[in-house]
Amino acid sequence: MGVGLVEHLFFILNSVYQAKHCTGFAEAPLKYYSGVSFPNFFTLIAYTHWAGAIIKFSNTISTFAWIFTDLLITLISIALTERFKQIVRRLENNKVMHEKFWKEIRQDYQRLYHLSKTVEKHMALLVLISYIHNIFFLCIQLYNSIRERTGIIESVYFFYSFGFLVLRLLVISMYGAWLNDEARKPLDILYAVPSEHYCTEINRLIEQIYTNPVGITGSGFFLVTKNFLLQMAGTIVTFELMIFQFAQPVKTTSTTSTNITYNCNVI
């Protein structure tokens, strides 16, 4: 949250820096600051101080709600992962191979499975929205990477914001994949059980782990695993290569191009 606060402050400073290039900034600084910060609003509707304040407040709340959503998903993934790690430790430290022990393990794993499904039911839409937001803004930042930056503030904001966005996406994906890995780790131990100690409970547990994967999902559209992370990274890299191949860098050396780039045409 602290890193997100710094990123939002850089966003404000960068908007002020860009608004200063507008010819009417000295007479109406708030108007041009709002126009540069939120061109999707103030190139369509007339600027007023009330509208600017409401949109800025909504933007701030949405920014930190977005960060909190990613943080919440990460923390819940960590909590569930630790529970599955407890089962793995019990299996690793097990010295007795009687059927009662395997039945207790299977029942505990079943409880954790139902807990994970309950959490998934309540968070699946949140996970889907989080990934859509992160990937959408990451693509925007990749598109902005071809744009020429004219000052230190603008460059620092771009690289800081881009790095923060990539970090958040990686953290969510890695901890989600970690949950899936820990839920499947008992398979390695169960497959190594000597044949003389093999029983029905072990077979039932193997079938459950193999056929019912555990992890963070986005409303059933995807399951967060290491393979999913690689596929997502490949898609993003492909998008970036397409941008570099077909797009031309946007330069901001003249006053006219600066006004166009910085959206100074506020209603």
- pLDDT digit string (tens) for the chain, length 267 residues: 898 899 889 888 888 888 888 777 778 888 888 888 888 787 778 888 888 889 889 988 988 998 999 999 999 999 999 999 999 999 888 777 788 888 999 999 999 999 999 998 899 999 999 999 888 888 888 877 777 777 788 888 888 988 999 899 999 999 999 999 999 999 988 888 888 888 888 899 999 998 888 988 888 888 898 888 888 888 888 877 777 777 655 544 334 444 445 566 666
Give the separation between CA 173 and CA 165, rounded to whole angstroms.
12
- Residue 253 — φ and ψ, nearest 5°? -90, -25
Q: Are 7 and 160 in contact (CB under 8 A)?
A: yes
3-class secondary-structure state, position 250: strand
Give the separation between CA 74 and CA 173, rounded to whole angstroms.
9
Distances (CA, A) of 140 to 56, 87, 161: 20, 42, 11
